Structure 1
Amino acid sequence: MADFYELLGVGRDASADELQRAYRKLARQYHPDINKDPGAEEKFKQVSEAYDVLSDPAQRKRYDAFGDDFRRVPPDVDPESWARSQRGRRSAPFDAGDIDLEDLFGGMFGGRRGWGPIPGADQEAELELSIVEAYRGGHRRLTIGGRTIEVTIPAGVTDGQRIRLSGEGGRGSGDAPAGDLYLIVRLLPDQRYRVEGRDIYADLPVSPAEAALGARLALDTPGGQVKLRVPGGTSSGKRLRLKGRGLRNGDLYAEVRIILPEKLSDEEHRLYEQLATLERGKSR
């Protein structure tokens, strides 16, 4: 697994703002709706996972302590004992006759003699959400492996983000704790919205008169309807930004789409002819 800091191109002492700026830049670069190169989607998922972990202080602390194993190491393991056990495994040549299982697992599991109770394994499952559900968060009842689980979905989750359910993974042996269950968020396609990283985009239909003269128009967003001021002289394709209305610190962009009437009335036809006469000779 690639190092999360290297994936984002930041140092290990990067601030929250530096992490966010690096993520937004890479999310725009590798988003599969924009980048059609083979491997771009996988890179986008890796970058999203890296940011989701490092932007969470608790997960970042565990990642810094245990590296790629941060999800598998039980919560009561001492980081220094873990590091010593890993150095010993890497430095010694593999020889089954030389392995001391008590030394190998003693530091990892609190010094218990022999095998003892073994914590349960972590598990993963996918959680499909609409963009509106992801924006608002909420509760969902899931049936996984014959068990019904109540899930609290944080507001603003993104595609590829992992939601950790402590103790809902594989069962441990004896009195050992169960593992954790990680739900991987998958955003469903939506005709009204599209998502790039943490930003949401929505089309804003505007008539030619509204675009020319300006108007206040209603726009449905995942968080509810809002009123937008369209400045006079707005061209098709212009983006109007609604700060903070994306997914978890992201923004929403309303993209102006100038819509012509399919059929003109006699009066409209006459007025458009007058407008065309006035526009003749003007530079474009």
Structure 2
Amino acid sequence: MQFKDYYETLGVEASAGDAEIKTAYRRLARKFHPDVSKEPEAEEKFKAVNEAYEALRDPQKRKAYDQLRARGYRPGDDVQPPPGGFGDPGAGGVDFEEIFAGGGAGGGFSDFFETLFGRGRGGPAGPGGFGPQPGARTRADTRAKLAIPLETVYSGDTVRIGVDGKTLQVRVPKGIREGQAIRLAGQGATGGDLLLEIEYAAHPRFEVDGRNVIHVLPVAPWEAALGASISVPTLGGPVELKIPAGSEAGRKLRLRGRGLPGKPADGDQIVELEVLAPTPQNDAQKKAYETMKDAFGAGWRRA
């Protein structure tokens, strides 16, 4: 299996903080999202960015990855798991289990990710991952994490997970919160119950703040200045959003009831405007910018 440099994939330094990593992920995810990108091999690049973010956004995963990276591996280098797997606690690794539901935004993970962290979206980590290691103490209940796409949280659905070579159907209640657990009776590793702690899978378009969902919407300068009606993605499908004339970068608009379901009320979707100036591609577009320059002059910064 070949080593992957997740920091290089996101274009950040190994010393980058959580906020910088999240910003880099959002920028690249928007750039390479298969629904909108015309870049060559956009889907593969999108998957690589999603995998890198999944590895670095979680403190435990990032710590384990940094330990491996510190050995001097470079992208493409062959990596052989040590005896007992990367997750061997005696080797300085981390001992935990993790399960990812299928159908997430980024698709499947690479062999490198799955060997390092367990069988990714397929089920709990086995030998060579961070799941239960040979000789680990037994317990009545088995605990694991289940990463759920936000669309599934929004609508509620049944997801399939792989556990010890078998496939289980898990019903995800609509609006389930992070940290809540789903109990599967009798499905634990030692005959006890399997407790699945819910976490939200990273999403290229949305962030979660309580019950609210945040989406950053790129708009052109003329759309912000003159107003516009723009199709905006939501977890329930696209809706038309009216951009008021005279809007500025950073303005927040609210789509009521378009956040995550909950009681006593559903959350909202907060749309934050990001004003971007398109790069001119031809003489007509360059001339349009010249006209704007003449019309506004140098004093617009003081307006």
TM-score relative to the length of structure 1: 0.50
Structure having the higher helix fraction is: 1
